Each structure stands twice: as C-alpha cells, then as structure tokens.
Amino acid sequence: MWGYEVAENFLFMQVTFCRWYYGDATRREAENWLLSTPNNDGSFLIRKSQLDYEQYALSIHFRDDVRHYRIVKKGDLFINPSHRFGSLLELVEFYQEAANGLVVKLASPCINVQVPQTSGVPQVVADEWEIERNFLELGEVLGEGNFGKVYKALWKGKVEVAVKTLKTDNMDKAEFLTEAQRMKEIRHHNLVRLYGVCTRNQPFYIVTEYLCNGNLKVYLSEGAGKECGQVTLTNISTQIAEGMTYLEEKKYVHRDLAARNILVGRNNECRIADFGLSRLTQDDEYSPKGSGAKIPTRWTAPEALFNHKFSSKSDVWSFGILLHEIISKGEIPYPGMTKDEVKKVIRGPGPPMRQHPNCPDRFYEIMQMCWRQDPKERPTFYQLQCDLDQITDYGQVSYENADADRTNQAFQP
C-alpha cells in the first residue's frame, strides 16, 4: 500500500511539472485558453474532470474549436481501452506520435496567455467609489441604453473603461443611483464589473469594465461570433447560467435577461449587464408598484407579463429565450409574429417557440424546461448550469465518435 502511494505521488509530481497539466482548470477555462492565440490545432492540456475529480480530461484545440476526451482511470489510464498507459506522461507521448483516433495528434502544450482585461484599473474599495471625472476621456459612443449614452473612455489616459451616462432630462436619477448601488454589491466573473461612479456633479456616470466585443446579439449576428461553433455557443450559455446562479443565490431578479444585455470580451468571455431593472427581492418574488415599467414581451414569462410577478423563475423563462437567441446567432424570438400573437402563444400549453434548425435536441429540451407554465416547475439556474456543463463536458467526450460530424458530436448526451 505504502509503495503504491509513493508511486502515485511520484507520478503526480512528474505530471505537475508538465507544461500541459492544468489540474484545476475548468472545462470553460480550458476552452478559453486553448482558443486564444498562440494556441493552434493540436495544442492541448490535461485537467481533472469536474464531474469526477479522480478522473482526467484531455482538451485539444481543433479547427477553432475545442474537443474534450475523457481519460478513464481504472488501474491504468486510457481514452480508448485498446491503448492503456501507466501514466499521463506515457499517454501524452503516445498521442504525440500519431492521432491514433483523436481528431488530431497532440502538438504543443497549451500556452495560457490570459491577461486580465482590467489591469491597472482603479481598485475600488467599499466606500471609495467616487471616481475623479477629470481622469476620464470620453471617446466613441458604444450604444444607448435605458438611461442614456454609453461611451468608451480612457481612465488616466491608459485604461479602457465604459462610461454610462444619465440623460440630463432623465427623471430617473434615483433609479440610476440605485443601479450603481446595486452593482457595487454584486461581484462575479460573469457579471459586468463596476469600477466606480461620478455622482458629485451632473451628468452622472457609471464607470464599468469595457468589453471589446460589445453586446452578444450584435456579436453573434454581425461580429466575430458568427463563426462560433456549437461548443463555444454552449460555453457562452453556461457562463450566463453561472452568472445568473450567482444572482439567484443573492435573490436578485434581473427582469431583462436577453442577448442585448450580455457583453462579450476577449475569447468569448461573457458578462451579464444592465441591472437597471433588477430588484433585490425580499421574498422570492417581486411585483413592480407602478404600471409604467416597459416590459420586453418576447423575453418575459407569462406570470410576469400578465400578472407582474417577477422572480428568478421568470428570469429562467427569459434564459430559455436567450438560449434561442444564442443558438440562432441573434435571431429575434418569435420571428414574423406581432407582440399580440406572441402574447397568445406564451399563454398556450405547448413550448412557445419551435426548435430552431441549428438547435440540437438536448439544448431544446433545456429550453423547454425553462418554458414550463408553472414557474415552480422550471429548473433553477444552478440546475441549468449543471445541465449545460454536461452537454459538452462528457457529451462530446467519446473516443468512438471522435471523427463524427462536429455538431452531432458536441451534443450527444
């Protein structure tokens, strides 16, 4: 037993010195790293499996996508039972010689050149959120939101940030400040990060991190996202589910979850934005007092649209619609239908939208769960995150069908 442990530890030490071993990396991190330059076809890494920490997974860059293979550990190690190895090192050397059934033979270890997008940005601390306005140089207009224009800006002449302004004639000053206050309290890598505010003088600013690929709808329909494969689309969906899981745990209801409110940075990193409509709920449900709130019909759950009952479960409904936007690369939900027609459909018993031709079955099953009429029967974001994770983590990890069509492969249960 002792000898066995020593051998195990020795092998582990050997492995941890290997440049391809990224033990604790998640599947999404592996994808983000492998898809960024200078990694190319055959770049690879080995990590521990998120589903079973005793097992490993091999992730390989292949044709601007990432393939994952399960490495089974049953006494020895193997991907294909007919080729077994005593260590990961031997396994790697074998697949570096030839593809031997993988999509491509292993080339060089993954190079992780992730640079934080935000280096050098003012490190805001609890009560020091006020940013010196003179340090900000406003540049191009990035878009126009609920409160006013959003500018790209430079902080202290060197750090790119986004500045959200309040229209001077806008009456919602209190709401604007509430949005800033709310953003201070929530911090997660899939939510847009607040750097600070300028609220001593008019116009008020909210200063956030800048995301170079803009909003997800435009990114997928007109930008570089047009080229995203199914694995990346699932990765994007999972990131959003992860951010929403955090909001759900904090009992925040977003109320406007849609592709236009997701921002995309480098390597398809996604952040949920626009908390302008979100509310911290006392219980699990929030009903707006006034009737003046604008409700985005095509994204809104029936109980929210007709009875003004917003909850994390109405966000889950919107998430189902957002999945449709993702899989259709930015198509408007319910294409060709008027708002009144949409209202009729979402009251109906069946799923409100048909399966898009590009939508794999498993993905559509997840959407249908989001669209259950009874909010209690809809999954939580945590469940959705796990379901989406499984689609690609072990879904595509099948040696036997490694050469199969990429779309089918990525979504096998």
Annotated binding site for ATP, which residues?
164
**Between 74 and 158, CB nearer to ligand AMP:** 158
What are the φ/ψ torsions at residue 399 (nearest 5 degrees)? -60, -45
Comparison of 86 and 120: residue with beta carbon closer to ligand AMP: 120
Nearer to ligand AMP, 333 or 360 (CB): 333
Q: Which of 37, 117, 46 is nearest to 77 (CA)?
A: 46
- Please indicate whether residue 256 is annotated as part of the active site: yes
Collapsing DSSP to helix, strand or coil, 401 comes out as coil
Least Å distance between CB 210 and ligand AMP?
A: 5
Residue 60's nearest CA partner among 11, 17, 27 is: 27
CA distance 101 to 122: 50
3-class DSSP assignment, residue 71: strand
Cβ neighbours of residue 71 closer than 8 Å, sequence gap 6 or more? 46, 55, 56, 57, 58, 77, 78, 79, 88, 91
| Segment holding 153, helix H or strand E | strand 149-155
Residue 246: C-alpha distances to residues 131, 188, 240, 276 (Å): 27, 7, 10, 17
In the complex, what is the shortest distance from the CB of residue 73 to ligand AMP, in angstroms, rounded to a whole number?
Answer: 43
53, 23 contact by CB (below 8 A): no
Q: How far is the CB of 325 from ligand AMP (least distance, A)?
A: 13
Nearest-approach distance from CB 278 to ligand AMP, in angstroms: 12
Q: What is the DSSP secondary structure assignment for residue 63, as one 8-state letter?
A: T
Q: How far apart are CA 15 and CA 28, in angstroms?
A: 21
Ranked by CB distance to ligand AMP, the top (closest) residue is 145
Q: How far is the CB of 374 from ligand AMP (least distance, A)?
A: 31
Report the residue number, 46 or 236, with the smaller CB distance to ligand AMP.
236
Half-sphere exposure of 23 (CA within 13 A, CB side): 9
Q: Residue 333 or 379: which CB sits closer to ligand AMP? A: 333
Whole-number minimum distance, CB 189 to ligand AMP, in Å?
14
For 396, the token pair is: 């595509």
What residue numbers does the annotated binding site cover? 164
**List 256, 274, 387, 389, catalytic entry:** 256
Sort residue 374 into left (φ over 0), alpha (ψ -120 to 50) or beta: beta
Which residue number, 155 or 411, has a Cβ lying nearer to ligand AMP?
Answer: 155
Distance of CA 91 to the CA centre of its chain: 32
Cα–Cα distance list, 6 to 84, 87, 90, 169, 282 (Å) = 21, 14, 18, 72, 54
- Applying CB under 6 A, which residues contact ligand AMP? 142-146, 150, 162, 164, 192, 208-211, 214-215, 260, 263, 273-274
Q: Known catalytic residues?
A: 256
